[in-house]
Amino acid sequence: MPEENEAKNWEKYDETIQRFIQVIAKNMNLYGITPSVGRLYGVLYFADQPMTLDDMREALVMSKTSMSTGVRALSEMRMVESTFKKGIRKDLYESEEDWYKSFTSLFGNRWRQQTETNIEEAEETIAALSEQWGETEDEELKVKIEDDVERLHYAKDYYEWLMRFINVMESGEIFKYIPKNK
């Protein structure tokens, strides 16, 4: 009977951890990470030791290709890192334990790319509208272009501010203003 109770306790423990892994996967979707990759991160996070792709595939019942793609994506976001263990020839992976570091890296990578694109698009649109302003004699159109160029300068100023914010996140300077919880 005691063995049966302990087996139930382990089962209950596993269900509890699996529910939290589902929460992680759901939340990571906010950052553009698929639920399956979010579950992969959760499994690695709760693993007591580094895992091989085969270990992950077994834990998640996914293909090795999916595991490899997921690990690569998590590695690029610095949420998972490759590690070495003497005597094991297969690649081993473990999660980044510092969620603050993971978030700032993920946030920075995702937002930097989009913000740089937005700045470029604003500049190109300003240039195109300015050229069009010089080519038209329609006073109403000129006024509309001037208003829109002003809006675009405002947008560009915002995106440049956002880049500074991203730099504060990526550099870790954000923690001077909003310290990590201990």
Instruction: Classify 178 as helix, strand or coil.
Output: coil
Q: Which long-range contacts link 45-50 to residues 24+ away (Cβ below 8 Å)?
A: 45/21, 45/95, 45/97, 46/17, 46/21, 47/94, 47/95, 49/94, 50/83, 50/85, 50/92, 50/93, 50/94
Write the pLDDT tens digit of every residue in 33-63.
899 999 999 999 999 999 999 899 989 988 8
**143 and 87 in a common domain:** no
**91 and 106 in a common domain:** no
Kindly list the distances between the CA atom of residue 30 and the CA atoms of 23, 33, 35, 47, 140, in Å, as whole numbers in the listed order: 11, 7, 10, 24, 43
**91 and 116 in a common domain:** no
Give the chain's domain count.
2
Domain ranges, residue 58: 2-95
Bigger pLDDT: 8 vs 145 = 145
If you average pLDDT over each of 5-14, 72-81, 97-106, 147-156, which comes out highest?
A: 147-156
- Report yes or no on 182 lying in a domain: no
**158 and 106 in a common domain:** yes
Alpha helix (H) ranges present in 51-173? Answer: 53-60, 64-76, 99-135, 139-171
- Report yes or no on 63 lying in a domain: yes
Instruction: Classify 176 as helix, strand or coil.
Output: helix
**38 and 113 in a common domain:** no
8-22, 61-75, 97-111, 116-130: least confidently modelled range: 97-111
- Report yes or no on 30 lying in a domain: yes
**116 and 84 in a common domain:** no
**52 and 72 in a common domain:** yes
Percent of the chain with pLDDT over 70: 99
